[in-house]
């Protein structure tokens, strides 16, 4: 029996790593024109959304999600933190009257106690968070639900005093009174560190210093962390890793990060017009979904699954502030889509325009080295592409299909094109300091095949020498590895169970 119990415990522990990243949606209701909760649930089911975050515990909403199998994250608003922290009986009564009547018919899996409490300048909300979390957890323990419903709180990136380079990530010391006990609570109860991340704001507030492509997951270049040598192709990963390094600096290495809000607005005030648009929103959200479901992880934690919630289901016309605050919605109040989004991530993260092509403009073009470039320029660009640029340069090595002719221009042309195609086929991706040239004629020759958009080749002799985008490749490999690991675990568990029963 002891062996059987051990086997089950081991299975549950290991299976936690067998599931891919989950994509959810935030269902905010600060609006006076939204459809009824029942209609909202039908919309969510129609679009195959399986994870939803709400910001309170509205009874009509909880009822609407009954018998749907949609996993729900509910919230204790900041206004409830003080009474929840003062008396255990308040948390007990709340759980009894506002949660248990709907559970487990409504599948509640997380409770967020407070939301971005450190950003509230008018109250001392953050001082109440940890005691309130503890009382909510105690209430759950009393009814035997502390393992089924996880308790945490959501924070903004403002809890960091430094976020760049990622390896220098550090928490703001002014929040130490709150953060350390909160992190101890999360580590002890295996709850996630919940954070709301918005690369949009970094670009909006500093467009001259931050590349739009970098925040949209479309960058053809990389930002190097000088302390670790890790390469970052998007700001989201850099922000997540900054949090992981900050956690590590305080010796909290086992806490996992969950992104409880991220997204992009479709409309903004005059100062936001260069950033807030349906096109950018579609690009960002499509790419973050693909990034999540393929388990790409981050440069410091490649292949590690992380759950992400897109903000938000609807535009919320009662919110104050700039126009963007009211225009983050994926759907209009009439339940039509603001833009098309595939929550499965199976479309590779790229959206299609009305003509059926990719809206980022990938076309049948190639990138080659300029015959007018100097040897020093070509050598420098070639070395960079085969190194930090992550291009697989096997095909230009001796005895490989693209080694001949053994000239710098020929080798650089093949490598330039590989980088160009793997990084969006944009003008920037064919720059190489001015020594790259875009052409419309296929440079392929003999058995040396220059890949086209998407990295597709027709000749097997060269296909083995090339990689697709490095980040996508890592994500796919980790997904295959995870699935293989799960199969092995299940097999071992089955054998162990059989042996235990025989004993």
From CA 258, how far away is CA 235, in angstroms rounded?
A: 16
Q: What is the DSSP string of 468-481?
A: S-HHHHHHHHHHHH
Catalytic entry in 116, 218, 282, 377 = 116
From CA 191, how far away is CA 99, in angstroms rounded?
A: 19
From CA 118, how far away is CA 98, in angstroms rounded?
A: 26
233, 222 contact by CB (below 8 A)? yes
From CA 152, how far away is CA 136, in angstroms rounded?
A: 10
Helix-helix angle 126-142:176-189, to 10 degrees: 20
CA torsion sign for 205, 208, 214, 218 is positive
Beta strands in 122-245 (DSSP E): 150-156, 160-162, 170-171, 193-196, 223-224, 231-232
Helices (H) and strands (E) counted in the chain, each on its own, are 15, 16
**To which H or E segment does residue 298 belong?**
strand 297-298
From CA 191, how far away is CA 153, in angstroms rounded?
A: 10
Long-range residue pairs from 121-126, CB within 8 A, at least 24 positions apart, any chain: 123/78, 125/78, 125/81, 126/175, 126/178
- How far does CA 378 lie from the centroid of its chain? 36
3-state DSSP assignment of residue 99: helix
Active site residue 316: no
Count the Cβ atoms, other than its own, within 10 Å of residue 441.
Answer: 9
281, 264 contact by CB (below 8 A)? yes
Catalytic entry in 71, 218, 261, 272 = 261
Active site residue 304: no
Rg, C-alpha atoms of the chain: 25
219, 213 contact by CB (below 8 A)? yes
Q: Which residues of 191-216 are buried (b: 16+ CB within 10 A; e: fewer)?
A: bbbbbbbbbbbbbbeeeeebbebbbb
- How far does CA 370 lie from the centroid of its chain? 38
- How far does CA 132 lie from the centroid of its chain? 29
Give the residue numbers marked as catalytic. Answer: 116, 261
């Amino acid at each position: 029996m002891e062996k059987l119990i051990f086997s089950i415990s081991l299975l549950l522990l290991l299976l936690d790593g067998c599931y891919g990243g989950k994509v959810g949606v935030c269902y905010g209701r600060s609006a006076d024109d939204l459809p009824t909760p029942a209609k909202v649930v039908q919309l969510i089911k129609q679009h195959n959304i399986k994870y939803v975050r709400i910001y309170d515990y509205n009874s009509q909403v909880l009822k609407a999600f009954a018998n749907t199998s949609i996993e729900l994250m509910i919230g204790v608003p900041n206004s409830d933190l003080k009474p929840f922290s003062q008396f255990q009986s308040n948390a007990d009564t709340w759980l009894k009257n506002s949660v248990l009547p709907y559970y487990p018919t409504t599948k509640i899996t997380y409770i967020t106690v407070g939301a971005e409490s450190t950003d509230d300048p008018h109250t001392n909300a953050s001082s109440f968070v940890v005691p309130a979390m503890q009382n909510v957890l105690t209430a759950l323990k009393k009814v035997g639900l502390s393992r089924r419903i996880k308790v945490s709180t959501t924070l903004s990136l403002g809890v960091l005093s430094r976020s760049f380079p990622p390896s220098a990530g550090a928490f703001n010391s002014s929040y130490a009174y709150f953060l350390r006990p909160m992190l101890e609570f999360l580590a002890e109860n295996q709850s996630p560190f919940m954070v709301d991340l918005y690369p949009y704001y970094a670009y909006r507030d500093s467009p001259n210093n931050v590349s739009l492509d970098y925040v949209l997951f479309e960058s053809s270049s990389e930002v190097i962390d000088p302390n670790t040598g890790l390469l970052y192709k998007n700001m989201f990963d850099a922000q997540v890793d900054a949090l992981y390094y900050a956690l590590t600096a305080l010796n909290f290495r086992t806490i996992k990060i969950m992104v409880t809000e991220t997204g992009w607005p479709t409309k903004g005030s005059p100062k936001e017009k260069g950033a807030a648009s349906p096109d950018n929103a579609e690009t960002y959200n499509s790419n973050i979904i693909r990034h999540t479901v393929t388990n790409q992880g981050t440069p410091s934690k490649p292949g590690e699954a992380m759950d992400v919630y897109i903000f938000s289901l609807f535009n919320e016309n009662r919110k104050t502030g700039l126009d963007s605050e009211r225009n983050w919605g994926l759907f209009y109040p009439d339940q039509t889509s603001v833009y098309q989004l595939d929550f499965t991530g199976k479309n590779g993260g790229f959206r299609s325009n009305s003509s059926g092509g990719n809206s980022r403009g990938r076309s049948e073009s190639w990138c080659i080295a300029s015959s007018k470039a100097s040897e020093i320029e070509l050598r420098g660009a070639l070395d960079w592409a085969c190194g930090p640029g992550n291009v697989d340069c096997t095909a230009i090595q001796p005895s490989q299909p693209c080694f001949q002719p053994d000239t710098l221009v020929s080798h650089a042309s093949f490598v330039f094109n590989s980088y160009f195609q793997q990084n969006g086929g944009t003008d920037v991706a064919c720059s190489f300091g001015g020594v790259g040239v875009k052409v419309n004629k296929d440079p392929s020759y003999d058995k040396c095949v220059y890949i086209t958009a998407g990295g597709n080749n027709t000749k097997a002799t060269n296909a083995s020498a090339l990689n697709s985008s490095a980040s996508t490749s890592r994500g796919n490999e980790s997904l295959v590895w995870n699935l293989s690991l799960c199969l092995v675990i299940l097999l071992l568990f089955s054998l162990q169970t059989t042996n235990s029963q025989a004993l």
